[in-house]
């Protein structure tokens, strides 16, 4: 018989997004430490899924289903984590598409890829006001603030976020991307990280926190 933690790990690997919440509840009822369930179960599972995607064994929809399964279980397990304790992760990332911009697919893919690679991701959605970004950064103290802009007219919004953060010398790295964004532009506005696609975004993010 598999133990509850291995079952959770396998449920992520097998994309059991519809039923994994019940498994998580059962694990808690059996007295499993929620932190262990997350770190040794879910995180290990999603790592396998991420690696398979990286090797080209599975495709995007499977990767997203894996991430969905993890999310569903986290929704049960996280509230059970004793206050004061926090799950280990590669780092907290706050992500969103900038103000006046509603392109979301690229941003969603980057968010999925990061969470599939061990990052904890808070997604603020699209058309996120610059002040909202700075507010969340101060509140959640993430290691990375990640921004997506798909239009030349909305790119300057990223500078609007980075400016005030730098001024307050908050210890955080900015990671940016989106079709019109270039590495040159990233340097210009003082963003530490840029990537042209979701897969390499993970490598860049790892370097930024590493």
d(CA 3, CA 100): 48
Contacts of 181 (CB under 8 A, 6+ apart): 149, 155, 158, 194
Binding mask 84-123 for another protein (x = CB under 8 A): ----------------x-x--x---x---x----------
Which residue, 88 or 105, is less far from another protein as judged by CB?
105
Q: Binder to another protein among 166, 182, 187, 207 (CB under 8 A)?
A: 182
Q: Choosing among another protein, ligand B12, none, which partner's interface includes residue 210 (Cβ < 5 to 8 Å by kind)? A: none
Residue 3 DSSP label: -
Check: CB of residue 23 under 8 Å from CB of residue 7. yes
Site for another protein in 140-179 (CB under 8 A): 152-153, 156, 179
Q: Which residue has the tokens 């909202």?
A: 132
Q: Is 55 in the site for another protein (CB under 8 A)?
A: no
Cross-strand partners of 17: none
Contacts of 18 (CB under 8 A, 6+ apart): none
Q: Is 56 in the site for another protein (CB under 8 A)?
A: yes
d(CA 136, CA 47): 27
Nearest distance, CB of residue 107 and another protein, angstroms:
12
Which residue, 89 or 112, is less far from ligand B12 as judged by CB?
112
Q: Choosing among another protein, ligand B12, none, which partner's interface includes residue 164 (Cβ < 5 to 8 Å by kind)? A: none
d(CA 170, CA 192): 14
Site for another protein in 57-86 (CB under 8 A): 59-61
d(CA 148, CA 107): 6
- CA distances to 4, 6, 7, 179 from 1, rounded to whole Å, are 9, 10, 9, 49
Q: Choosing among ligand B12, another protein, none, which partner's interface includes residue 182 (Cβ < 5 to 8 Å by kind)? A: another protein
Nearest distance, CB of residue 161 and another protein, angstroms:
16
Residues near another protein (CB under 8 A) are 56, 59-61, 100, 102, 105, 109, 113, 152-153, 156, 179-180, 182, 197-199
């Amino acid at each position: 018989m598999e133990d509850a933690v291995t079952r959770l790990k396998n449920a992520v690997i097998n994309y059991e997004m519809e039923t994994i919440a019940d498994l998580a509840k059962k694990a808690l009822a059996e007295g499993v430490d929620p932190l262990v369930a997350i770190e040794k179960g879910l995180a290990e599972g999603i790592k396998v899924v991420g690696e398979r995607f990286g090797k080209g064994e599975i495709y995007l929809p499977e990767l997203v289903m894996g991430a969905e399964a993890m999310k569903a279980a986290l929704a049960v397990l996280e509230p059970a984590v004793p206050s004061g304790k926090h799950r280990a992760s590669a780092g907290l990332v706050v992500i969103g598409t900038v103000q006046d911009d509603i392109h979301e697919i690229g941003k969603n893919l980057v968010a999925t890829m990061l969470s599939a690679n061990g990052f904890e991701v808070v997604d603020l959605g699209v058309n996120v006001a610059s002040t909202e970004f700075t507010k969340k950064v101060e509140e959640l103290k993430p290691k990375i603030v990640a921004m997506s802009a798909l239009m030349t007219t909305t790119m300057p919004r990223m500078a609007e976020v980075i400016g005030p953060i730098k001024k307050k010398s908050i210890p955080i790295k900015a990671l940016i991307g989106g079709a019109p964004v270039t590495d040159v532009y990233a340097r210009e506005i003082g963003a530490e990280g840029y990537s042209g696609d979701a897969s390499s975004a993970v490598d860049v993010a790892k370097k930024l926190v590493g």
